[in-house]
Amino acid sequence: MPIYEYRCLDCNNEMEVMQKFSDEPLSTCPQCGGQLKKLISNSSFILKGTGWYKTDYASPERKKAMEAEKSSGNGKSAKKENSSEKVKN
């Protein structure tokens, strides 16, 4: 369940509340009865592993170079074919 932060507009009391996504936001302060405002805060959600960073994707120049290697036969697939031919001989 996500943790939401609220601040009272009257007494400036700040609180964290665990609520479901489907729950209605709180509207009254439990201390003074004033109006609450939902705050926007940082999350603890972290993306780890490959594929999440700009450097994990090939640039347009790198994509062109990779396509050129494949079409010229100098790519990895050509090397695999040559090595399998050596085993057959």
pLDDT of residue 76: 52
The pLDDT of 41-52, averaged and rounded, is: 74
Using pLDDT thresholds of 50, 70 and 90, give the confidence band for residue 86: low
For 15-23, which contacts have Cβ atoms below 8 Å and span 24 or more sequence positions? none
pLDDT of residue 88: 53
Residues in contact with 3: Cβ distance below 8 Å, sequence separation at least 6, in sequence order = 16, 17, 18
The pLDDT of 21-38, averaged and rounded, is: 93
Q: Where are the alpha helices (DSSP H) in the chain?
A: 60-72, 76-88
Query: What distance in Å separates the CA atoms of residue 73 and residue 31, rounded to the nearest whole number?
Result: 73
Given a cut of 50, is residue 78 above it in pLDDT?
A: no
E strands in the chain = 3-8, 14-18, 36-39
Task: Enumerate the domain spans of the chain.
Answer: 3-39, 58-88
Q: Specify the length of the chain in residues.
A: 89
